Structure 1
Amino acid sequence: MLANKMTGSWPVAPTAFNDDGTLDLDGMGRVLDCIVDTGADGVCILANFSEQFLIDDAERETLTRFCMKHLGGRIPAIVTISHYATEVAVKRAQLAKDLGARAVMMMAPYHGALMRGSAQQTYEQLAQVGEVGIPIMIQDAPLSGVELPVDLLVRMAREIEMVQHFKIECVGAATKLRALIAAGGDAIVSPLDGEEGITQLADLDAGATGTMCSAMIPEWIAKVVLAHSKGDRDAAVETYTKILPAVNHENRQCGFRAAKAAMVEGRVIRSDFCRHPVAPLPPETREELLGLLRPLDPISMRWGL
């Protein structure tokens, strides 16, 4: 299979709920349409910023099928399939492939704070998912609590054909990206960063080809990537400096609730409901966020007006 490099912005789609906590599929469609209209290079569904840990299995399948059909190939989609059980991850990968996903994203196998896959178990899970025949993005995220050293990532990239893309979100992401690219060479097809772009500039300097951000300001994230890719680092720094207060507030104060707040403001979705035990965004924090976003005039805050 020809490997395709992922560049630019790949926002994570927030999951739309009604005020009573049920899925809002009409709102989900509007979320996807809004993301397409930002000019995003692709979209990721059912990720951590989609509240995947608050969605049951039946809802997950409903969302996967709905999102893939609604997108209709307008932009490529990555489907998150992380699960501690390898058989479950394989089934999720097969469904994503059957529905036309560009790739699947997965963290190392873990469950809670203490059940973590070893290096060998992680390798084995990735290898079995790879047999499905859909490209894999490894998400190196602190949430899993599983250490993924560079030599293990490079080994999987070289020995498992479908392991092609990497979302590096660990502490010191730029250092790890630089080491990963140097050690893995052409086997590292797409080195991306995450964490809402909070370390984006350093990560691009280290060789990241794009950013998997939230759906809050993906058009601005893409501007940073594009300027940097053209060798205009000064323009990248200027844009990054402009958006950093909002990105920092999102990363440190709001989490996945930020994109929802912006989309309610822009009438993309009707509700910014988050399922318990996640607390609603405090009104003061929400207003601080919107105040930082308004000068940027993001598409998410005016799409449905």
Structure 2
Amino acid sequence: MTKYSGIWPVAPTPFHPDGTVDYEGMKRVIDCMVDQGNDGICILANYSEQFLISDEERRKLTEISLAHVAGRLPVIVTVSHFATQIAVERAQHAKDHGAAMVMMMAPYHGALMRGTAEQTFEQFARVGDVGLPIMVQDAPLSGVDLPVPLLLRMAREIEMVKLFKIECPQTAAKLRALVAEGGDAIEGPFDGEEAITLLADLEAGATGTMTSAMIPDQIKPVLQHFAAGDLTAATEAYARVLPAVNHENRQCGFRSAKAAMVEGGVIASDFCRHPIAPLHPQTKEALFRLIRPLDPVVLNWGK
């Protein structure tokens, strides 16, 4: 497997029931993710509820998380922002505190303010000047179209743009084109969306995946079997986890990992800040019904 490969889940951000950030709980989240056998960790991404966190909380979470990881795993810090200056400052802060790389979406704000292709290229180039590898997050949330020719130009002309997290519709088709046309410039083709399309994406050339922190230890064998050339075993491993992954992707979203971590004694609360509603009891019950038979690390870690 390549340098940029394997499973790099997104760390959830725990909150106390009063809505304040649980910084000690964040350390336990990190420890659990290390014990899950992950290849890396991503913090402050969409599944970390980055859009519900203040700038000061982001700064503290970055510093606390990187200090607590203490080199046990490489860490990706998400630095997306519409303002290029702020994205650069976030990237520099991450670098100063030991991040292995940063992840960014294209610049956007709301439904109507979206960076053009040239503005997007320029923002990534300026963040690249910080000197950390960049993962381009091609996510529908931004509403910004990132066609393959633009991604190829970024990979070829911006030295630090090395990884691509593709999670748009028909991910496999885009990954296949990106890998075929980009060659060695595409050092880390990844997928996301909780691995809901993982097997097809691996066949299209993905070397890694960025899931949630719910059951990455159970998803990782799919990548390992595929890398070993055993498509039958990879397919069986994928079929084993797919019902849980589907329920997470379609019913729970980022609330699932925190619910599982509460159930397993990793953190004390699965609180999400308003306007995010808590999981419906039936939805949560179905989640546990699907993940308990898998016996993931998260359900046993704190017990």
Cα distance in structure 2, aligned partners of 1:230 and 1:219: 17
Cα distance in structure 2, aligned partners of 1:76 and 1:223: 20
Q: Which runs of 4+ in 1 moved over 6 A?
A: none
Report deviation, 1:166: 0.5
Superposed CA offset, 1:100-121 (max 9, x none): 1110000000000000000000
1:77 matched residue in structure 2: 75
1:23 matched residue in structure 2: 21
Residue 10 (1) aligns with residue 17 (2): no
Match for 2:208 among 204, 207, 210?
Answer: 210
Superposed CA offset, 1:38-95 (max 9, x none): 1100000000000000000000000000000000000000000000000000000001
Q: Secondary structure at the match of 1:31?
A: helix
Equivalences for 1:28-47 in 2 at 5 Å?
Answer: 28-47=26-45
1:228 matched residue in structure 2: 226
Equivalences for 1:52-67 in 2 at 5 Å?
Answer: 52-67=50-65
Cα distance in structure 2, aligned partners of 1:8 and 1:130: 23
Q: Secondary structure at the match of 1:155?
A: helix
Match for 2:136 among 138, 157, 161?
Answer: 138
Q: Secondary structure at the match of 2:218?
A: helix
- TM-score with structure 2 setting the length: 0.99
Q: Secondary structure at the match of 2:9?
A: coil
Residue 126 (1) aligns with residue 124 (2): yes
Identical aligned residues as a percent? 68
Report deviation, 1:5: 2.7
Equivalences for 1:103-252 in 2 at 5 Å?
Answer: 103-252=101-250
Cα distance in structure 1, aligned partners of 2:167 and 2:45: 14
Are the equivalent residues in 2 in contact too, given 1:266–1:303 (CA < 8 A)? yes
2:288 matched residue in structure 1: 290
Report deviation, 1:222: 1.1
Q: Secondary structure at the match of 2:136?
A: strand
Cα distance in structure 2, aligned partners of 1:248 and 1:99: 35
Q: Once superposed, what is the RMSD of the aligned Cα atoms?
A: 0.6
Cα distance in structure 2, aligned partners of 1:222 and 1:97: 28
Cα distance in structure 2, aligned partners of 1:82 and 1:5: 23
Amino acid at match of 1:192: F
Superposed CA offset, 1:212-241 (max 9, x none): 000001111211001001100100000100
Cα distance in structure 1, aligned partners of 2:121 and 2:5: 26
Superposed CA offset, 1:145-196 (max 9, x none): 0000000000000000000000000000000000000111100000000000
Report deviation, 1:25: 1.0
Equivalenced residue count is 302
Cα distance in structure 2, aligned partners of 1:82 and 1:129: 10
Amino acid at match of 2:5: T
1:93 matched residue in structure 2: 91
Report deviation, 1:262: 0.5
Q: Secondary structure at the match of 1:40?
A: coil
Cα distance in structure 2, aligned partners of 1:19 and 1:235: 42
Cα distance in structure 1, aligned partners of 2:20 and 2:4: 33
Amino acid at match of 1:167: K
Q: Secondary structure at the match of 1:253?
A: helix
Match for 1:50 among 48, 51, 55?
Answer: 48
Cα distance in structure 1, aligned partners of 2:302 and 2:3: 32
Unaligned runs of 5+ in 1: none
Are the equivalent residues in 2 in contact too, given 1:211–1:221 (CA < 8 A)? no
1:271 matched residue in structure 2: 269
Q: Secondary structure at the match of 2:283?
A: helix
